[in-house]
Amino acid sequence: MLLLTGLTFLVPALASVAAPIGEQMFTNPVVSHGADPWVIRWNSKYYFCQSRHNDGVRVCEATNLEDIGKGDWKSVWQPAQGMPYSKEVWAPELHFIQGKWYIYVAADNGDNSNHRMYVLEGTSADPTQPFILKGKIAAPEDRWAIDGTVLEMPDGKLYFIWSGWEGTENVAQNLYIAPMSNPWTINGPRVCISRPEHLWERHGLPINEGPEVLWHGTRLFIIYSASGMWTDDYCLGELAWNGGDVLNPKSWAKKPEPVFSSNTAVFGPGHCSFVMSPDGKEDWIVYHAHVHRGSGSVRDVRIQRFIWNADGLPDFGTPVSAGIPLARPSGEE
């Protein structure tokens, strides 16, 4: 996605220096405290989905991307106490699939080794209204799982992608994919499509997590987070689909270097989501970063425009420092 060369400075230049004089601007962070940001654009609105103090899920609606988290938060799901999914509610994602809203979220009973993925189903066409628990979503192996997302192919077939353990011990986190028969059911074995093999994927612990689907025409990418999120070396990696069976590991090629990583002013950028500007002309990444060097799990939420290279690969540039004026997404009111 991004080559750590001269091209890495294209995004800051595009976003700040090249902005027309007098154009309205914003600065990062757009949310002063938050992590694992999931934003989706629907019916001219942006919906920001977050865990609520790690014990529930909430959604906030915004007209402008830089205003996510500034409106009224709506609690859409609160788990019952004493259940396998009552604690450590992590990284919820809001998806509109086959005419209904679903939220995919990791949770456990207070013991991290019991983390599994769960599906919530919307009760309304409005994603800020309550969701109900549909059930656990798991491959036949039923291993530790977090950060689940859904890949919908052009033919309508669904696949679940997540971060998980190979066995029952926390040795490493790999990325897995499995077929789905409907938005809440996996109906086949999991397949590992990425392991933390490079040094930049192994700071703190060997970790691949936070997989996110990114389409560009017919080109498909999975952008994922690597290394321990508590380290300043947390970063984003890229898997590119070569057009084969998505369940075949050989259909995915890993870029050998990170595509979005720390610099002298921004630390631990990762766990992202992707949206378009209101006029559909610009691509934007939403991500979290450490509030300062060495802040560990204390993170904030930032947004930044990215571009596409002539070869069809995404170029995220380098993370722009907090406080630097950036042009708002095109087409905003």
pLDDT (0 to 100) of residue 73: 96
Compute the distance between CA of residue 17 and CA of residue 325 in angstroms, rounded to an integer: 9
At CA 165, angle to CA 163 and CA 170, rounded to 5? Answer: 120
Compute the distance between CA of residue 167 and CA of residue 204 in angstroms, rounded to an integer: 20
Q: Say what percent of the chain tops pLDDT 90.
A: 91
pLDDT range class, residue 1, cuts 50, 70, 90:
very low
HSE (side-chain half, CA atoms, 13 Å) at 323: 3
Please give the residue that has the higher pLDDT: either 22 or 160: 160
Please give the residue that has the higher pLDDT: either 20 or 126: 126
Lowest pLDDT segment from 13-17, 111-115, 206-210, 303-307? 13-17
Checking if the pLDDT of 94 tops 90, the result is yes
| Other Cβ atoms closer than 10 A to 51 | 22
pLDDT (0 to 100) of residue 11: 38
Residues 202-220: pLDDT tens digits? 999 999 999 999 999 999 9
Strands (E), 52-127: 57-62, 73-77, 87-97, 100-108, 116-122
Checking if the pLDDT of 159 tops 70, the result is yes
DSSP percent split of the chain into helix, strand, coil, nearest 5: 5, 45, 50
Compute the distance between CA of residue 85 and CA of residue 129 in angstroms, rounded to an integer: 20
Q: Buried b vs exposed e over 174-186: b needs ≥16 C-beta within 10 Å?
A: bbbbbbbeebbeb
Checking if the pLDDT of 18 tops 80, the result is no
Q: Is 169 a catalytic residue?
A: no
Q: Are 149 and 212 in contact (CB under 8 A)?
A: yes
Q: Is 36 a catalytic residue?
A: yes
pLDDT range class, residue 76, cuts 50, 70, 90:
very high
pLDDT (0 to 100) of residue 8: 35
Of the candidates 209, 212, 233, 315, the residue annotated as catalytic is: 209
Compute the distance between CA of residue 26 and CA of residue 19 in angstroms, rounded to an integer: 12
Please give the residue that has the higher pLDDT: either 203 or 12: 203
The strand pairing partners of 287, in sequence order, are 302
- Taking Cα atoms as reference points, which of 100, 98, 107, 96 lies closest to residue 57? 107
Q: Say what percent of the chain tops pLDDT 70.
A: 93
pLDDT (0 to 100) of residue 55: 83
pLDDT (0 to 100) of residue 23: 62
Lowest pLDDT segment from 6-15, 241-250, 251-260? 6-15
Checking if the pLDDT of 69 tops 50, the result is yes
pLDDT (0 to 100) of residue 54: 76
Q: What average pLDDT score do residues 267-296 get?
A: 97
Put simply, whether the predicted model's pTM sits higher than 0.85 gets the answer yes
Q: What average pLDDT score do residues 273-292 get?
A: 98
Tokens of 128: 């800020």
| Other Cβ atoms closer than 10 A to 135 | 12
